[in-house]
Structure 1
Amino acid sequence: MVSLLSLKGNPVNVTGEENIVSPGFYMPNRLSVAVGKALHKLLDGKVCYLVDPTFPPHPEVMEYLTKKKVHIEYFDFRKTTSRAVREQILDQMNQGNSVVFLPGLVSKTRGCHADVPSPFLRHVGSLHISPVPVFVGYYTDTVKDLFRSEPLAGYSEELSILPQLHPGPQTGERLLSAWLQRSAELFSARPLLLGSLTTALVKSMRANPKKEIIDGMTHASLPFFKVLGVSMTVAKLLKERGDKRVGVILPPGAGGTIATLSCLLAGATPVLINYASSKAAFESTVRQAGLKTFITARKFMQKLDTFPWPPAEQLIIVEDLLKNLDKKALIANVLMAKAAPAAVICKMFDTDARRNNDEAVMLFTSGSSGEPKGVVLSHRMLLANVAQCASRIPLGDEKFLASLPIFHSFGLTVTMLLPLLTGYSYCAYPNPTDARSLCELCKRYELTVVCATPTFARAMLRRADAETFKAVNYFIVGAEKLQPDLEKEFQERCGVTLLEGYGLTEASPVCAVNMPNAEMIAGSAFYVPGLIPRTIGVPLPGIAVRITDVDDDSRELPLTEQGMIWFKGANVFTGYVGKSEMNPSIFKDGWFKTGDIGKMDLNGFITLGGRLSRFSKIGGEMVPHEGVEQVLTDIFNVDPAAEGGVQIAITGVTDPQKGEALVLLSALKEHQRSSEEKLILQNVRTALAERQMPTLWAPKYIVPVEAIPILPTGKLDLRNCKLLAEEALASLL
């Protein structure tokens, strides 16, 4: 049941009135004046408020309560025992009053899930009184400000009374879990997410026509209105061809943006191709997506002469396309993109015909066998993730660096769609490994948002000076583990704090990120941190987290215990394309199993403990151990059925340069001499190249062993394989 309380201030939407317990102990995650009034009214005014004077609530809230002459119980949790506070609460409840904990004003970063610092959640757990969780959030229907953690005029304020928690330990963890789940439900229900990504792009680019895409190689720039106008012209040609899906083989920049937007306007799904993939992986991608048409550029083809390009008749070459465009039509479309109402353009291309859960973009991620798995990112998913990022990152007058490939979900969502949908310019460069050029671009254009893998960031650090990142507000790293030495050196040499985040292609991709800490509030001794080193940050607004036993998906653990991480949110996909048999093992009641092990603290920060699945993240790319083993079995001419059982195995170890490194455990006689290791590894690299396999699949080390560890079931003993490698290489790691 939802009721709208027309009180002074913003409207307050109330849900969960059936969960009201009288008298009860209520724990809101935050409280505004309008929500405070609504909650007071819902509880019929029979309320006592619990306040810590060292953590004072908003003055307007206190002013309202003073006028109402309500009873306030004061406590200082640092000085008062849990038993004394428990007695205070129970005394009021015995008198028929509900007790509401009042969160105080707290230093916090944008998009935090609660204004309640972790010490208070720990304290609540020691009271042994089952609380009624109350979730409060503030929402609009704009991509840039869909959710806020503090109210502003014109926002809808949501007040949700959640079911009372059962008695038991770890109350703080269960409160946090309840808040996160309700946050995800409310975020997912926003009308904006029912809409069209294409419509949102047209509206934003029309609203910000002079923002531009800068070519980091030529230093030419193309304003958004011209990008839109060219895309409109190309879209009409694509529509005539009638392809449902179109392959895009282009780097980040105006070309990649125009190709992607043209497909969307034409009602086709852009399939962003990994141009670093092997021939087998590319052919699998083409087959699974049913591709017959590809957009690319001649200059790009010349640079990728080893890529298994499709037949010429299937290629749309950008240079030829632009040369042969109807110039009058192009000029007309550019003028329309600059001056016509967005609604007119949207109607012309019927952009709302594909929306919500319809296909928007298709990417491919590696499977356990090395075969790519198709992931459809819907309009809803991409709108949600861009809005989640914008709700977490305090965007001001920003300018982005876009060097990550758009076939990488982070490059697509964060460095292309985010600036397009929120109205920011970006500088694109096709090679994320060209550290010298990237540093020059950061300095020349005073770029403020930089996204990279730690491997790429380390390379940039070698080329940077004190002025390189002077304008940078946010240097976000992900896709592999951030090493402490890199974090420290960046801070000392450049004055830049690296902000570690985490994402998955299946989640569009960003799930969590650190942000710089906010300034302390005068008079308050508490704060909710924005950054905790060695963590991947807090979940973005609208993402719920669950932890389960690694060996039993049905056994839920407290958030603070290490286990398998699951996510739920509007940004999460619904299953792999053409691989329905995989979906039951990765989905449970709407929750997605990430394959990562970790835990969360009471401030919401997630610490990863490792990967359960047999992959290594190297340079931001997923490398499947089983796929490498299959190739090496062929290279070494190993007979899997031969006497002696398994002879080789791949495992991963920590690598200070690239996050992880592959290690070949070998029981083969020819691998037992260390003097031959370099030659063997070189031969492996040569053999991989001959088979057109990625160079990342080459092991960095060989560890000779007497026997490969095997479980009684006949499967590899992954834990002991890893231990063997770590022990053998301890002096090198």
Structure 2
Amino acid sequence: MLGSLVRFLLRIIYRVELRGREHYDAAGPRTLILYNPGSIIDPLLLAAMLPHRIALLADRALEHKWWMRPICALTDTQFFDFSSPAATVSLVHALARNGRCMVFHSGSLGNDPRYIRILEAAGVIAERANATLLPVRIDGATSSMFSYLRHKGRRRWFPRITVSVLEPQRLRPHAELPPRERRRRMGERLYDIMTELEYRSGMERRNLMQALMEAVALSGRRFPIAEDQDRHVLTYGALLLKLSVLGRAFRRLFRGERVVGFLLPTSLPGLVAFFGLHAAGFSPAMLNFTSGVASVVSCCRTVKLTSVLTSRRFLALADLTAMEQALKDAGLRVLYLEDVAKKLTIGDKILGALAAWLRLAPSTSPDDPAAVMFTSGTEGVPKAVLLSHVNIIANRYQALSMLTIGSGDKLFNCLPMFHAFGLGICTLLPVLAGVRVFLYPSPLHYRIVPRLFYESQSTIICGTDTFCAGYARYGQPYDFCHARLVIIGAEKMRESTRRVWLDKFGVDLFEGYGATETAPLISVNTPAYRREGSVGRAVPGLACRLQPVPGIDEENTGVLWVKGDNVMLGYMRSVAPGVLEPPVDEDLAAIFAESGEGDDGSGWYETGDIVHMDDEGFIFIRGRAKRFAKIGGEMVSLAAVEEALREIWPESVLGVVAMPDPRKGEQLALVIDTENVTTSRIAAHFASRGLSPLWTPKRIVSVKQAPLLGSGKFDYRKARELAEKG
């Protein structure tokens, strides 16, 4: 009777909905229920909505809390001291005796290592009791007044709450492993289940504007979502008003076009213009203004652009007048934000304000292109990468399922928006997730970025190893005192960079891995699970497989292929402008065509990286498939050679390229920003390390400044040109 009454009240107050009842029935009578902790009413929701009475194994610290009384009335509650070694045995007996059980602990643990210990204990309990694991996802409770995060953001009295029951799971026993290792493996498996649960239950197919409107509804119009170096603050309400009015003007100015060139920096106007184009139904093509005039014009032709949106002030400050003239000479129409603002009509302002007030979003298909990015072009002509709304939304949820980021954080974004990392993770993720973001136009200002990070009281920053090494060189020890999470990607993290951050700032660095084609995140190390030398484990919802490489015999090593919701729509190449090439594995497609069974190969993307994947799923990058040289019949990894060279010059920026050699097929050339570099010194060091003499570069080019792309990556194409001249 009491359960029916509580269930009725919850459905009236919170409109609670139970999904996946069939999975609950399939789990059987002996089940350990796992859920994502978000509020103190989580056990009440499960006790009221699940069909059978459950046993609640609760922390003894909660025994005298007043809000535990209704929970105890709906469950068979037993209190335990989780810190006691005997608690695990008691919990096993309780599970065997009561059947359907769940563990209730205090606090929102998320990616905290304490949460991992609880998962490990739950794994031991399930294994010893021979129980089925039943993952349950609770959505909406973290927005209620009972949330653990109620002091870190705007909460609502009556949010809609959904309880989703997913497929039951069985832990694979590891009887051959020692007890401690077996416990760790089980905790790891449960962590995978929970992150997959986090992703699958949160992921929804929608366009970016719809996701933005949901974020505004959740956080409120007064929430200060973005800020810049001039201390201008943009609230959600102001963002909606500006983009809606601007969108009305864009709809008129770009009529008949589908893709519009976007030549703006990471800034508040850039953020407004990006969403303004989406409000008008256009897809922005993010032009890399650091790649040179010829590259930008080539990119415009590849996607058949007619117009480019930019700013007079930006062009002047960045000294891009030559690029501006080249675009005009190529027949493109260049529109300036300053001129668009002057052309706003009364109708634009009135209808835009009305659309902002009503939170209207266009009905763009989630599968349509949301942004056109361009590959870095480190080894050739940049290709256009079409990312859909689903790609970007999926990668947002994939990242949030592994990294604990909330409304109490502030993300400092100085990465360019034309880079997939700068756009997807550092701009759109915080804006769509209700996380404040500080926008700064350049990551190269090594003296300014640390100071602004401190003054803005930011807690998260992403960058490359080169950028972070620069911040460490010029930053003060207190500049990153607020830093809670620092993620490095795009290039390999040097141990020297991580060490100086630990010594100077007391902040650890976490290495991740991604690609423009995956919007961009593929894997990341986290505070809960990390492995030295790796780029972390793959994000949930992303399938991975390895294709063997001739000449490389290391086990579980090969070219990485991935498939998932965050994998691009396809390429457009300069040789075939406007023609979309969806990702596909031709070998799998051929096998499917012959047998008619299995995977047809569609949706698989070849990263081009040769990686090693260990038994626990950690990815270790061995190098680019194209960045191997065959010298005297031996396959030599250019990335491995670079790593060995950094042992000699840890503070230098360097790159190794392969060049033709009439005797041995290929030879290595080193481009480095250091003088007095000799082959004899390199050969002596390699000999002391027991490395092959074939690894020694035959040509050395010393430069004052190493060639870098705007994203911070080493520019191998430019390095090859320097080596050929040098």
TM-score (norm 2): 0.67
Q: Which amino acid aligns with 1:120?
A: A
CA drift of 1:687 comes to 13
Aligned to 1:374: 384
CA 668–194 in structure 1, closer or farther in 2 if over 3 Å, else same: closer
Say whether the 8 Å CA contact 1:197–1:379 is kept in structure 2.
no
Partner residue of 2:515? 504
1:318–1:44 CA distance, 2 compared to 1 (3 A)? closer
Contact 2:247/2:278 (<8 A) preserved: no
**Distance change (3 Å), C-alpha of 1:104 and 1:235:** same
1:264-291 deviation per Cα after TM superposition (whole angstroms, max 9, x unaligned) = 2332211102233367755653344222
Counterpart for residue 431 of structure 1: 442
Q: 1:482/1:64 Cα in 2 relative to 1: closer, same or farther (>3 Å)?
A: farther
Q: Deviations along 1:10-67, whole A, 9 cap, x unmatched?
A: 525141435434432334245775556646875644x666x58789899689756754
Q: Residue 183 of structure 1 aligns with which residue?
A: 198
Higher RCO (CA < 8 A, seq sep 6+): 1
* Correspondences of 1:639-658 after superposition (within 5 Å): 650-652=638-640, 653-654=642-643, 655=646, 656=650
Mapping of 1:79-478 within 5 angstroms? 79=85, 88=93, 92=97, 98-105=99-106, 108-109=109-110, 117-120=118-121, 123=124, 127=128, 129=130, 131-140=131-140, 154-165=159-170, 169=174, 175-188=190-203, 190=204, 196=210, 207-208=221-222, 213-214=227-228, 224=238, 227-228=242-243, 231-232=246-247, 234-240=249-255, 242-277=256-291, 282=296, 285-297=299-311, 300=315, 303-304=319-320, 309-312=326-329, 314-319=331-336, 322-323=338-339, 326=342, 329=344, 333=348, 340=354, 342-343=356-357, 346=360, 351-365=361-375, 370-386=380-396, 392-396=403-407, 400-421=411-432, 427-443=438-454, 445-470=456-481, 472=483, 474-478=485-489
Helix, strand or coil: the match of 2:266? coil
Q: Return the letter of the residue paired with 1:270.
A: P
Runs of at least 5 residues in structure 2 that lack an aligned partner in the other structure: 175-184, 550-555, 573-579, 589-598, 669-677, 681-695
Write the distance in 2 (CA, Å) between the matches of 1:65 and 1:220. 47
**How big is the shift at 1:429?**
3.7
Post-superposition Cα deviations, 1:69-102, rounded to whole Å, max 9, x if no partner, equal 84869798985699x789847964xxxx524352
Q: Which residue of 2 aligns with 1:582?
A: 584
Moved more, 55-64 or 434-443: 55-64
Task: Report the Cα distance in structure 1 between the residues aligned to 2:194 and 2:320, rounded to whole angstroms.
Answer: 49
Residue 30 of structure 2 corresponds to which residue in structure 1?
24
Match of 1:618 in 2: none
Which residue is 2:627 aligned to? 625
Instruction: Give the structure 2 partner of residue 696 of structure 1.
Output: 716
In structure 2, distance between residues paired with 1:649 and 1:488: 25
Q: 2:504 aligns with which of 488, 493, 497?
A: 493
Amino acid at match of 2:701: L
Maintained 8 Å contact 1:436/1:463: yes
User: Could you list the per-position Cα deviations for residues 229-266 of structure 1 after superposition, in whole angstroms to 9, with x for gaps in the alignment?
Assistant: 773364144333x2211222332224533542343233
Is the partner of 2:656 in helix, strand or coil?
Answer: strand
Secondary structure, aligned partner of 2:375: strand
Percent identity of equivalent pairs: 21
**1-structure distance, mates of 2:562, 2:448:** 37
Cα displacement (A) at 1:165: 2.8
Question: Higher mean Cα deviation, 174-183 or 434-443?
Answer: 174-183
Deviations 1:624-679 (A, max 9, x none): 537xx8xxxxxxxxxx9xx9889998555324558984354875569699379796
Equivalent residues of 2:141, 2:161 under 8 A apart: no
The one-letter amino acid of 2:257's match is D
Contact kept? 1:545, 1:565, Cα under 8 Å: no
Give the Cα separation in 2 of the matches to 1:177 and 1:257. 34
Q: CA deviation at 1:699?
A: 5.8
What is the letter of the counterpart of residue 375 of structure 1?
Answer: V
Contact 2:228/2:439, CA 8 A, preserved across alignment: yes
Could you tell me how far apart the structure 2 residues matched to 1:483 and 1:209 are? 38
Letter in 2 for 1:119: E
Letter in 2 for 1:608: I
Q: 2:248·2:280 contact (CA, 8 Å) conserved in 1?
A: no
Q: Distance in 2 between matches of 1:375 and 1:140?
A: 34
Quote how far apart the aligned CAs of 1:406 are.
0.9
Q: Distance in 1 between matches of 2:122 and 2:219?
A: 44
Native 8 Å contact 1:490 1:497 kept in 2:
yes
Does structure 1 residue 662 correspond to structure 2 residue 643? Answer: no
Q: TM-score, normalised by structure 1?
A: 0.66
* Secondary structure of 1:376's aligned partner: strand
Q: Return the alpha-carbon distance in structure 2 between the equivalents of residues 196 and 601 of structure 1.
A: 40
Q: Which amino acid aligns with 1:310?
A: L
CA distance in 2 between partners of 1:58 and 1:534 (Å) = 46
Aligned partners of 1:215 and 1:253 also within 8 Å: no
Alpha carbons 1:25, 1:132 under 8 Å: kept: yes
Q: Report the Cα offset of residue 496 of structure 1.
A: 4.0
Letter in 2 for 1:137: R
Deviation at 1:453, TM superposition (A): 1.5
Q: Using a 3 Å threshold, how does the CA distance of structure 1 residues 286 and 316 change in structure 2: closer, same or farther?
A: closer
The one-letter code matched in structure 1 to 2:26 is: I
State the distance in 2 between where 1:266 and 1:698 align.
Answer: 39
Consecutive unaligned residues in structure 1, runs of 5 or more: 518-528, 553-560, 615-623, 630-639, 704-733
